[in-house]
Amino acid sequence: MYAVITGASKGIGKAVAERLAAEGFDIAICARHAGTLKAAEADVMAKRAGVRVLAEVTDMSVKEAVLAFGRKVLDTFGEPPAILVNNAGIFTPGKVHEEEEGHLEKMMAVNLYSAYHLTRLLLPDMKRAKQGHIFNLCSTASHKAYPNGGSYSITKFALLGFSKNLREEMKPFNIKVTSVSPGPTWTASWEGFDGPPDRLMEPEDVASMIWAAYQLSKQAVVEDIQMRPILGDIG
C-alpha cells in the first residue's frame, strides 16, 4: 500500500508524505530541486522504520517528465496507489491585465496539467482495482476571486473544476475524489510574512485533514474541504 504525493519536498506536500508514511504507507514523491527532495526523502524515511520511499526529481511543468514519473511509480510498486495527492503548484500573484506574456500557460502547466496528466496515467490501474482516493490540492482562491489573484486564481478555479468532473466520472469505479482548498498556510508562498506565527495554518493541519478524509468508511467521501486560519483570510 503506497501513496503518491507531487511537489513534496517542502510545505504541504512534505507534511502529507510524512503523515502517510507514519500511518503505514510506502511513499512516492517528486519535486524539481534535488537538494530539497533528498532532504525530504530522509525526513519521510525517519517517520517509520522500513518505509519504502521513491523520490524522483521531476519538472511538473513538462508533460513528458510527469508521465515518466508516473511510469516509474507503477514500475517500482507494481500496483496502483491507494492515495494520489496532486499537490505540485506554483504561486505568483499578479493581475490578468498586467502579467507578462506566457504567464498563464506556465501556471496552467504546473497547477493543472500536471495533475491532469499524472491522474490519467495512473487511473487505468486504479479503475481495474476499483479502489483509490485522489486528493487535488486546490485553494480558497479556487472558490472566490480576490485582488492580485491573476493567473494563479484562474488555475486554481480550473483545478477545482477538474476535481468536480473527476468525482462524477469515478463514481462507477469506486474511486474517491476530494478537493482540498487551504487558505493561508505556512509554506514557501508566505515567506516574508511578518504577522504573528499563529495567523497562518500549519502544513500539518492540511495533512491531518487529508488523513481524516481518507479514513472514512468505503461508502463515504468528502467531496470538498475548505480550510482557513481561525481569523479568516489575510488581506
Annotated catalytic sites, by residue?
152
Residues 6+ apart with CB under 8 A from 119: 84, 86, 134, 166
Which three-class secondary structure state does DSSP give residue 19? helix
30: Cβ contacts below 8 Å, ≥ 6 apart: 6, 7, 8, 37, 55, 56, 57, 58, 60, 69, 88
Angle at 51 between CA 47 and CA 53, to 5 degrees: 100
Assess contact for 134 and 84: CB atoms under 8 A: yes
Give me the sign of the Cα torsion angle 43, 48, 49, 51: negative
